[in-house]
Structure 1
Amino acid sequence: MFGSILVRCSVVLSTVVMAVASLSAATSQARAEDVIRFGAPLPLTGPLAPEGIKQQQGYDLWAEQANKAGGISVGGKKYKVEIVYADYQSNTPRAVQTTEQMITQDNVNFLFGAFGSGAAKAASTVSEKYKVPTIAAAASSSQVYDQGYKYLFGTFTPNDTLTTPLTQIIKAKAPDVKKVAILARNDLFPLAIAQEMEKSAKANGLDVVYFEKYAIGTLDHSASLSQIKSLSPQWIFVTGYINDLLLVRKQMVDQQMKAPVVTMIAGPAYQDFIESAGQTAENITSASWWHPAEQYNGKDIFGTTSNFVKLFRDKYKSEPDYGQASAAVCGALFQLAIEKAGSLDRDKVRDALASLDVVTFWGPVKFGPNGQINSLEPPVFQIQGAKPVVLFPEAIKQGDLKLGVN
């Protein structure tokens, strides 16, 4: 009898467990059905961590605003936003692996591209294979978009949209600048923009007296800088990321290198660079794809540029830069496209992205046939008084070019 009681208890317990499990599964399924999952592979550790963290801030701000508004509307139903992050540790092959894992194991609906042109291009082979719409928040090099892919989009205009106006400003405001020296990180975006700089310089009659690459992870630039110093260029142009450029700038100071014009891309747009470089950041010129001085009245979740800036300041207690803004607009563009498609079907959302022609807080957004945005006029700026001051375009100009760095 005691045995039969145990059997009956066991049956009851088993039934309860199964019921709880069914309820849990149903709840999980319902929850999953009410959520849109966005995969965001990022370099949250390693040398590119400063840039990766900035993108995460932009994605988080967008997700917060979208969810505060009830979520994304799909055919009359609201879906909450969930972002799935993974750290690929500043390693491009790992970015590719992470992207595949997000699609096949994490079951994300859509993707944000990996950071930088090199990683974004490599990882896009995976998202294209699985036909997952992807928006890259930090990929400007034409080599990313020349693969004939249908599912990849990017919020940065081509690199020459930065170097051409920059060169024209220097030519007009500093006619004595004749010789240019270029030092580039040997990585897809930094090298590509250095090559565009070389083209822009030659097209404007300047003499490129030095063009060399440095390896990723280089810590000692003294030999390259000594060579540049011996050539006495009036314009020194260096590409890389924040940590690279801070190191180069410090070693320039150590060698007492000065020139009428020093340009660094991409770093001076970030407050981190300005604070870390201190006085040695003064008068460094640069260019980026967005600036808080923009004054757009958008149709996205953020609305005006000023509202985006306010929301960012409130959340992070700092001024947003183009990296954070680009990440935020990637989310906002997905939201617009999903709501336009009225569906979570990937092909329908892809088609909605391809046909977007809309003003956002980031500016006017229209993707070209290759998926790269072709509707923006990126600002050129210079660090003056520990702040980026816009020199171009005229509509948001804040100051004039100053020559000489400290």
Structure 2
Amino acid sequence: MGIGLALAVGVSGLAGSAAAEDDMIRIGAPLPLTGPLSPEGDKQQRGYDLWAKTVNENGGITVGDTDYRVEIVYVDYESNTPRAVQTAERLITEEDVDFLFSPFGSGATKAASSVSERYQIPTVAATASSEEVYNQGYRFLFGTFTPNNTLTDPMAEIVAGSGEDIETVAIYARNDLFPLAIANEMEKSAEENGFEVVSFDEYAIGTNDHSSALTLLRDSQPDWVFATGYINDLILIRRQMRDLGVQPQVLSMIAGPAYKEFIEATGEAAENVSSAAWWHPAVEYDGEGVFGTTANYLELFEEEYDSRPDYAEASASAAGVILQLAIEEVDSIDPVTVRDALADIDVMTFYGPIRFGETGQITSLEPPVFQIQDGEAKVIYPEAIKQTDMRFGGIN
């Protein structure tokens, strides 16, 4: 479908309420629902939809004497960043949305943030972690992912402190804003912890064959391979690594292994792959907002989708919770007033503690590090939710 067509309204109607049709808060959500990033777009949509459905079934968002139902307007930008920017503007100027959820990922979020800033529309980014997104001096953008080094520093510290004979690291990164940014952070984290980075190679967006690059990587015999990209990239890379006999002692990939689809697609090859993310179902928070506890969120998600949520889905739901709490705190849907409430928010949610720094990026989370063991992702850090120790070797 073309970018001018709103694909669907995520939620309509308000269970148990006689709210008038115009008592509605409309939130625009440009997403990559087709194209190579569609798996990620689908995850965000599930997270947003669960939040909106739960809000509406619980009476909507109360502002003054009015209960507003939530309506999410989705538009498919077909995994094309320039279209994401155009879509964000159309949602504001033609669809008359009150607020925005950002497109998927750091690159599209950075590009589209200029639109919401120009129109002064509060925007919550559920999947953007790169500091380059937030250092533009914008006031209306808020993100639920901490900076990239909050993932790479703990990973490097865990491996460095393991006592294993691991000295060298090879980095293989998608040439895109987030994958390349986190690869650069990994290089810094590795060197700060005494590892030698023996190679740092990039692959182009849309690469369908990594065999030449992986052959060169194999020849350098790294102890640790760190690969970045999105889920379709990393599934292919993992398969081709196995075919070529690339067998490091440690294999880390960001961000695909956080998704059950990665484990399903790679099977036994997923074993002992490590990663990190901004949230994991093992966390336990008793929070404010429509979901309350993490346990309740998990129960509602599993009832709706017959699966456990991953960090992308949970972050999308959290974006809605945060926006709702800000609106209710100031008892207003005025965009500037809500923006100020977002800037000042300090609250516990099912997703964790929420506080934004001066740039609008969240500063309050401690992202989990995990490893796929026995067919499921198990937390190895932080200590408070640790489920197991990290395994070394076994990359076949």
Q: How far 1:394 sits from its partner (Å)?
A: 0.2
Matches within 5 A, 1:233-248: 233-248=222-237
CA contact (8 A) 2:160 2:194 kept: no
- In 1: Cα distance, 2:84 partner to 2:361 partner: 21
Structure 1 residue 283 corresponds to structure 2 residue 276? no
Residue of structure 1 equivalent to 2:360: 371
Residue of structure 1 equivalent to 2:211: 222
Residue of structure 1 equivalent to 2:194: 205
Greater helix share, 1 or 2?
1
Residue of structure 1 equivalent to 2:44: 55
- In 2: Cα distance, 1:76 partner to 1:356 partner: 23
The secondary structure found in structure 2 opposite 1:173 is coil
1:60-105: per-residue Cα shift (whole Å, max 9, x none)? 0000000001100111310000000000000000000000000000
- In 2: Cα distance, 1:96 partner to 1:220 partner: 30
Q: How far 1:174 sits from its partner (Å)?
A: 4.6
1:216-274: per-residue Cα shift (whole Å, max 9, x none)? 00011111101110000000000000000000001101101101100000000000111
- In 1: Cα distance, 2:344 partner to 2:92 partner: 24
- In 2: Cα distance, 1:31 partner to 1:304 partner: 31
Residue of structure 2 equivalent to 1:252: 241
Structure 1 residue 112 corresponds to structure 2 residue 83? no
Residue identity (%): 60
- In 1: Cα distance, 2:375 partner to 2:295 partner: 21
TM-score by length of 1: 0.92
- In 1: Cα distance, 2:321 partner to 2:27 partner: 12
The secondary structure found in structure 1 opposite 2:33 is coil
Structure 1 residue 155 corresponds to structure 2 residue 144? yes
Spell out structure 1 runs of 4+ moving beyond 6 A.
none
The secondary structure found in structure 2 opposite 1:147 is coil
Matches within 5 A, 1:214-363: 214-363=203-352
- In 2: Cα distance, 1:38 partner to 1:32 partner: 15
Q: Which runs of 5+ in 1 are unaligned?
A: 1-29
1:202-225: per-residue Cα shift (whole Å, max 9, x none)? 001100000011000001111110
CA contact (8 A) 2:28 2:74 kept: yes
Structure 1 residue 175 corresponds to structure 2 residue 164? yes
1:387 to 363, 373, 376: 376
Looking at CA atoms only, which structure, 1 or 2, has the larger radius of gyration? 1
1:91 to 80, 87, 101: 80
- In 2: Cα distance, 1:391 partner to 1:203 partner: 21
1:403 to 374, 392, 395: 392
Residue of structure 1 equivalent to 2:66: 77
- In 1: Cα distance, 2:316 partner to 2:282 partner: 18
Q: Which runs of 5+ in 2 are unaligned?
A: 1-18
Q: How far 1:275 sits from its partner (Å)?
A: 0.7
- Backbone CA RMSD of aligned residues: 0.8
- In 2: Cα distance, 1:75 partner to 1:48 partner: 40
Q: Which amino acid aligns with 1:95?
A: A
Residue of structure 2 equivalent to 1:14: none
CA contact (8 A) 2:169 2:223 kept: yes
- In 1: Cα distance, 2:327 partner to 2:381 partner: 34
Residue of structure 2 equivalent to 1:9: none
2:114 to 108, 125, 128: 125
Residue of structure 1 equivalent to 2:5: none
Aligned residues: 377
The secondary structure found in structure 1 opposite 2:161 is helix
- In 2: Cα distance, 1:310 partner to 1:355 partner: 30
- In 2: Cα distance, 1:385 partner to 1:92 partner: 37
TM-score by length of 2: 0.94
Q: Which amino acid aligns with 2:96?
A: N
Q: How far 1:175 sits from its partner (Å)?
A: 3.3
Q: Which amino acid aligns with 1:340?
A: E
